[in-house]
Amino acid sequence: TTFTAQRINVDFGARGENHRRETYRIVGGVEGTFNTDWRYELAFNYGHLDTFYATSGNVNVQKFIRSQNAVRNTAGAIVCGVNADASTTNDDPACVPVNLFGKGAPSAAALNYFVVNSTRREEADQYDVTAFVSGDLSQLFELPGGPIGFSLGGEYRRETAYSAFDEVTRSGATFLNAIPIFDPPAQVVKELYGEVRIPLLKDVPFFQELTINGAGRVSDYNIGATGTVYSYNAGLTWSPIRDIRLRGSYARSVRAPTQGDLFSSPSQTFLNGLVDPCSQINIRNNPNRVTNCAAAGVPTTQTFNGITEPFTNVPTAGISGLNGSNPNLREETADSFTGGVIIQPSMVPGLTLSVDYYNIKITNVIFSLLPQTIINQCYDSPSGINNQYCAALTRNPNGTFAGQSGVTHAGVQIAFPTTGQSFLSGPFNFAKQKTSGIDADLSYSRDIGPAKVTLRGIVSYLINRDNYTDINTPSFIDQQKFEVGDPEWAGSFTANADFGMFDINYNMRYIGKQTVATQFETQNSVQGRPANNPDAFPFVFYPDVTYHNLRVGADVTDKFRFYAGMDNVFDRQPPYDITGTTGAQGIFENVGRFMYAGIEAKF
């Protein structure tokens, strides 16, 4: 007799975590001056991080299955089934049968058999050597605005990382996924850089200051496809009168892929419903497929059981592949333009206003693709098969994929063994991001009686923030503006009064409206496209919100200082469905009113 039962295993023990983190840093170096006013510095840094955590209440699935398969042996005793069957090769002397009927029914011996604590250890090391020389050329010559300043230097960094679960957990025997050891090659970066400041004019009509500055850096990475890359920037500062300063800059910067991007441990995955672009049924759907499929060695016919037909490659089951990192990733590249003005009116001492515009574009953004998309991109490429997508695929000589276990041919399912993995589904360099906005900062500081009073207000206006992650339609915009974490308007105001041994601070934070839906496009039109689901929620936006915070501090003695404060004074609650578990949702105050106090000590 068989039956189905469901059980909430509260008596297996609580799922808990215990974390330990240890870190230390060693710094040493020399510095000094030479050539009268030139400065040099040579420094060495070493940092080490060691983390260990244990997760209690995990279950070894295979042991649990053995334990619950309880039977009576020939002597009438209740034992595990593996120890009572005719075979002795599968015996497990440690197995203890478990009684699952009733809360608290499982014995301690049975729980000790299949309940396990999973552990994970991670290590990271960084070696960093830097050296630079800085100064100016005043001993040689000066421009009308002053001497040219410079800085020349270099840096060497070596980073290692390691992460591993215990042997049982990483094997996949528990409820957790199997996770191989993460032990990537060391990343070594060698850099040289130079910076220059050229003061062209100073203290002349319409040119209280005219300065050009620039910098350049060459970096060499030993892992991934980054290799040698260059970053640089140039800027101009012009002050027509003492009260006004205009500034503008352009910068090219790069971000190399991390060790995790390149070498994170892969996990097995399956692509169901493969549509092979090289199939004779699909090969005419793109003008590049005939040439690319032939160049990749994919045949136009297939033969099984002596029957030859046009190549169609219809798998009988999902094809196996890997989901993980990509060792062929290269750097992301950003171009940014900024321009702004700083106003410090001499008639109002202590008042400063700055307004800046920024425009940033990032290309070759690392973004993950689905397996079918990777396969299509390989054979649809107008530049041939020498691309990052084809490099992620593996086929057999007969055209089937390495992780394919069968094919439907002439109406018959043909089975054959896999020879490897079909694809590597992971990140690629293809996406793009654009953003622009305006930041304004107004501050005022002056002495009022016994106190130094400082007032400051900051306002940010987001013009646009867009992602371009549709590889088939590169102009397709995924709008980020208004989504949680990216409001159109945001700002803050701070007022501080410092009386010397006592100070009081007030802070206000404003956040503009943000969409209820995870994606802006769910209930809103973008690029003329209709909303995906305009009725998804009863309202479109979370309303704007303002938080108020207070803090006071007092010097008890020369060495001790007391402070206390209250954040979110009016106890504003987050939107009803915000969990605070993601980074973007952290923009809201998720714990309500929060009070704190502490003591600072100097030794």
Residues 292 and 421 in one domain: yes
- HEC assignment per residue over 116-179: EEEEEEEEEEEEEEEEEEEEECCCCCCECCECCEEEEEEEEEEEEEEEEECHHHHCCCECCCCC
String of DSSP letters for 250-288: EEEEEEPPPHHHHHPPPEEEEE-S---TTSTTTGGGSTT
The predicted pLDDT at position 441 comes to 98
Residue 487 and residue 412 in one domain: no
Residue 270 included in any domain: yes
488 and 390, same domain (yes or no): no
- What's the mean per-residue pLDDT of the chain? 94
Is residue 129 one of the residues assigned to a domain?
Answer: no
Q: What is the pLDDT of residue 1?
A: 63
Per-residue model confidence as pLDDT tens digits over 272-330: 999 999 999 999 999 999 999 999 999 999 999 999 999 999 999 999 999 889 998 99
pLDDT, tens digit, for every residue of 9-32?
888 988 888 999 999 999 999 999
Domain boundary among 428, 443, 468: 428
Average pLDDT over residues 338-361: 97
With a CB cutoff of 8 Å and minimum separation 6, the contacts of 289 are 277, 278, 282, 283, 379, 380
Residues 374 and 490 in one domain: no
Two structure tokens written together for 568: 């979110």
pLDDT at position 582 over 80: no
CB atoms within 10 A of CB 432: 17
pTM: 0.83
Same domain for 405 and 274, yes or no, is yes
For 483-540, list the strands marked E by DSSP. Answer: 489-498, 502-511, 514-515
Q: How far apart are CA 129 and CA 337, in angstroms?
A: 31
Task: Write down the pLDDT at residue 171.
Answer: 86
| 406 plus 495 within the same structural domain | no
The model's pLDDT over 430-455, given as tens digits with 9 standing for 90+, comes to 999 999 999 999 999 999 999 999 99
In total, how many domains does the chain have? 2
pLDDT in tens, 469-486: 998 888 999 999 999 999
* pLDDT digit string, tens, across residues 66-100: 999 999 998 899 999 999 888 888 899 999 999 99
Same-domain check for residues 408 and 524: no
Query: Based on the domain organization, do 372 and 311 belong to the same domain?
Result: yes
Q: Give the domain range for residue 385.
A: 263-329+367-428
- Kindly list the distances between the CA atom of residue 493 and the CA atoms of 47, 506, 546, 549, in Å, as whole numbers in the listed order: 37, 8, 11, 10
Residue 396 and residue 499 share a domain: no
Q: Is residue 269 included in any domain, yes or no?
A: yes
- Please tell me whether residues 418 and 520 are part of one structural domain: no
385 lies in the same domain as 528: no
Q: What is the pLDDT of residues 375-419, one digit of tens each?
A: 999 999 999 999 989 999 999 999 999 999 999 999 999 999 999
* Shared-domain flag, residues 392 and 303: yes
Q: Is residue 395 part of a domain?
A: yes
Q: Is residue 557 part of a domain?
A: yes
CB atoms within 10 A of CB 588: 21
